[in-house]
């Protein structure tokens, strides 16, 4: 049984929208930025209330740098494992990306060259991480505006090999799939048709916008209709066990967020979470 089965539509918990999230009557799961959880292990009070109400909390790491050639920092791994224990998480997630090298922080997720050496680096770092975790790890492919010049593997080959060699689950970000395909002039279905979709633990959806002729996965804009359509196409092939809306700033009025959550329900067929569940 996949860890988030039956959890349906969720939302990325952020302090700025904790009041909104607390009042979603049908909510069954949230994600929290793992690095934002305190080292002491005590989750913030608002999250503790969600946990008490039976909402699953998934720590989502953004700074582990699993794709770095350098070994992951054991302290960061320990914090992620501790965060998972503190919220009794069914799983944790991180990115197929690197965020620092040689002591320089990028401040964001950077793409990897799609090379065998990079696959090896990710596999080694995932092994170092899962050795400390009590729960499964899901890996999220990122959106990037640029690619490395000398890729050896297609994106599908690169991701599939990492998943096969690590036993990790897939956190598919459908907006990232859309963004990369648009910016590369590819058909997003080509990637969806080649990924091991049965490995999906859950799916991310986020907003973005076109700026300077490129699609930017901002998480601060509305979810485009094209992304919702792609989500529908994904569900037609393989419905993900759960789906989560990410919003990271420029928070809209509550009615707009509710409408986006309802749109995720409509696209996936999962119950609406903005109204009390029918019993």
Residues at the interface with other proteins (CB under 8 A) = 68-70, 98, 100-102, 104-108, 110, 113, 115-118, 121, 144-150, 183, 211-212, 214, 216, 220, 249
Q: How far apart, in whole angstroms, are the C-alpha atoms of residue 111 and residue 41? A: 31
Residue placing its CB nearer to other proteins in the complex, 59 or 113: 113
**Residues pairing with 12 in the sheet:** 31
CB 2 within 8 A of CB 88: no
**Residues pairing with 9 in the sheet:** 243
Q: How far apart, in whole angstroms, are the C-alpha atoms of residue 40 and residue 264? A: 35
**Residues pairing with 200 in the sheet:** 170
Residue placing its CB nearer to other proteins in the complex, 249 or 277: 249
CB 135 within 8 A of CB 91: yes
Residue placing its CB nearer to other proteins in the complex, 38 or 249: 249
For residue 170 the two structure tokens come to: 């897939």
- Tell me whether strands 98-101 and 92-96 are parallel, antiparallel or unpaired: unpaired
**Residues pairing with 169 in the sheet:** 138
Name the percent of the chain in helix, strand, coil, to the closest 5: 40, 20, 40
Q: How far apart, in whole angstroms, are the C-alpha atoms of residue 31 and residue 10? A: 8
Least distance in angstroms from the C-beta of 159 to other proteins = 18
Residue placing its CB nearer to other proteins in the complex, 90 or 141: 141
Q: How far apart, in whole angstroms, are the C-alpha atoms of residue 224 and residue 148? A: 27
Least distance in angstroms from the C-beta of 61 to other proteins = 16
Residue placing its CB nearer to other proteins in the complex, 49 or 250: 250
Least distance in angstroms from the C-beta of 234 to other proteins = 26
CA 194 to chain centre: 19
Least distance in angstroms from the C-beta of 130 to other proteins = 21
Residue placing its CB nearer to other proteins in the complex, 34 or 91: 34
Least distance in angstroms from the C-beta of 225 to other proteins = 23
Least distance in angstroms from the C-beta of 91 to other proteins = 26
Residue placing its CB nearer to other proteins in the complex, 103 or 253: 103
Least distance in angstroms from the C-beta of 248 to other proteins = 9
């Amino acid at each position: 049984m996949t860890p988030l089965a039956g959890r349906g539509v969720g939302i990325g918990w952020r302090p700025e929208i904790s009041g909104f999230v607390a009042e979603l009557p049908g909510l069954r799961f949230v994600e929290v930025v793992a690095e934002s959880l305190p080292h002491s292990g005590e989750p913030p009070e608002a999250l503790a209330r969600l946990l008490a109400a039976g909402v699953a909390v998934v720590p989502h790491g953004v700074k582990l740098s699993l794709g770095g050639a350098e070994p992951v920092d054991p302290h960061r791994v320990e914090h992620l494992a501790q965060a998972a224990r503190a919220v009794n998480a069914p799983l944790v997630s991180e990115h197929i990306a690197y965020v620092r090298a040689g002591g320089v922080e990028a401040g964001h997720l950077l793409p990897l060259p799609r090379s065998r050496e990079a696959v090896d680096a990710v596999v080694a770092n995932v092994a170092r991480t899962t050795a400390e975790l009590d729960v499964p790890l899901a890996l999220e492919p990122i959106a990037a505006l640029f690619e490395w010049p000398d890729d050896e593997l297609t994106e599908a080959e690169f991701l599939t090999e990492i998943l096969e060699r690590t036993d990790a689950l897939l956190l598919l970000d459908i907006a990232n799939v859309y963004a990369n395909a648009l910016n590369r002039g590819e058909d997003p279905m080509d990637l969806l048709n080649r990924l091991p979709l049965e490995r999906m633990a859950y799916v991310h959806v986020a907003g973005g916008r076109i700026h300077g002729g490129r699609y930017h996965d901002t998480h601060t804009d509305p979810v485009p209709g094209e992304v919702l359509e792609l989500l529908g196409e994904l569900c037609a092939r393989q419905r993900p066990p759960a789906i989560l809306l990410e919003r990271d700033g420029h928070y809209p009025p509550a009615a707009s967020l509710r409408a986006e959550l309802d749109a995720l329900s409509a696209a996936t067929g999962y119950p609406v979470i903005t109204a009390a569940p029918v019993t």
